[in-house]
Amino acid sequence: MSSCWKTVVRGMGVALLALMLSGCVSRRMMVQSDPPGALVLLEGKEIGTTPVSVDFTYYGTREFTLIKDGYETLTVQQKVQAPWYQMPVIEFFADNLTPGHVTDRHQFRYAMQPQRLVPNAELQRRAEMLRGEARLGQ
């Protein structure tokens, strides 16, 4: 075998070895609520009821909305911080060349407030005010 072919075969072996050792980074967020069982929307799309986890691709600020009967709806702008190995340039090597599998997990826990019941007298007062304002606007 000529030295040219040996170099080609050696190069293919190195490329194959690099592919076999290539790493993988997965990102996962877990949302918990107190009380559990709240419906969770991530950027307006339903992902399940708490506790729930979901894979994600990008870091940054994410919008979670939690809904549960008897509790105030909670909307949160949650910052999802990238770890040091996911910073630009470094992330290419971490995602593609790190041996094994790395999972970046983020856990968020939110306390929901019981829904405030407004007394009937207060509701009637507000309704009369709105009715009065509507009459003035005609």
Q: pTM (2 decimals)?
A: 0.64
In a domain, 48, yes or no: yes
Residue 19 confidence (pLDDT): 47
- Which parts of the chain sit beneath pLDDT 50? 16, 19-20
Distance CA 83, CA 135 (A): 58
In a domain, 8, yes or no: no
In a domain, 63, yes or no: yes
CATH code of the domain in which 31 resides: 2.60.40
Which DSSP category does 85 fall into?
A: G
In a domain, 10, yes or no: no
Cα→Cα distances 136→8, 84, 114, 123, Å: 87, 60, 36, 20
Query: Encoding tokens for residue 78?
Result: 């949650």
In a domain, 109, yes or no: yes
Give the total number of structural domains in the chain: 1
Assess contact for 59 and 86: CB atoms under 8 A: yes
Distance CA 13, CA 19 (A): 10
In a domain, 82, yes or no: yes
**Where in the sequence is the domain holding 58, given as residue range(s)?**
23-116
CB atoms within 10 A of CB 4: 8
- Over residues 10-32, the pLDDT tens digits come to 655 555 455 445 557 688 999 99
